[in-house]
Amino acid sequence: MTPLRHKTYETNALSEILKIVPEGSVVDSYMFFSGQLEMTLSKYNRFVCAHTTQYVIYEFWLCLFQDPEKIYDIIKSQHFKFNEKEFPFLQDTWAKYKDQYIRSAIFYFLNKCSPDGTISYGTMQKDKFTNADLAALKTFKKPKNFFLLFDPVSLIDSFAASRGEYQIVNAGKFSNNFFEDGKSYGLEETKFEHLSLLEYFEKTNKKTILLYKNNPMLIKNYQKINSTIKFINKYGNPTTQKNAHEVIIANF
């Protein structure tokens, strides 16, 4: 169990990824958020360098690595009391608190109260936050073979920092990025152009793996170039395109 969740980036393709990436490999992972993919790789003896371009994600994990009990104590404090009417205000202001551990505590709380794992927007339900979520904080330990980097650049530009044998991008839902003007993004969200990722994937000589939710337009685009496409069902097993929930795309 990883401390955070995010519906968009949850994956059941982990067993297939472990088959593709050999034990002992050095892996650069991008779009880091919940750590589900990265911590599984680390647990099974892959050396992982996770990258995020969003500072608030980096800050939360840094605080969690350094002092998880401090975050736990803040949430357990009698001053840390919010009702559901206060959630919109909290979503708008959480990043403005001066103390990084208070910001991290609110970040965690909002993530756990959200059915989808969003922080800065979306419906919030207080009863989603459970004693198990608190216990996950208190017992958390930084995994071995794991390192986290903040890349203050765009996602595509951050690939230049890759030094591993493999690159993995957990890209979520494919989009042609039409009608993006005026769309608002939370501070925790990574904005990028999926077609730019396609262009990078086609040109790079680095071993690159993309994880996506199944999408007909995605398959159409990647079938045009030299790529290996594996379809995964919701149980994590190989399947047909018709029955696929996720797609693993590799350039090797």
- pLDDT reported for residue 66: 96
Tokens for 51, please give them: 């990258």
Distance spanning both ends of the chain, measured CA to CA: 31
| SS3 category, 250 | strand
* Number of alpha carbons in the 13 Å side-chain half-sphere of residue 2: 22
Q: Are 18 and 41 in contact (CB under 8 A)?
A: yes
The pTM for the full model equals 0.92
Q: How far apart are CA 245 and CA 241, in angstroms?
A: 9
Weakly modelled stretches of the chain, pLDDT under 70: 1, 178-184
Decide if domain 7-59+143-250 falls under CATH 3.40.190.10.
Answer: no
- pLDDT reported for residue 226: 87
- Domain ranges for the chain: 7-59+143-250, 61-138
- pLDDT reported for residue 176: 81
Phi (first) and psi of residue 152, to 5 degrees: -80, 50
- pLDDT reported for residue 220: 95
Q: How far apart are CA 33 and CA 24, in angstroms?
A: 23
Dihedral (CA of 221, 229, 200, 5) sign = positive
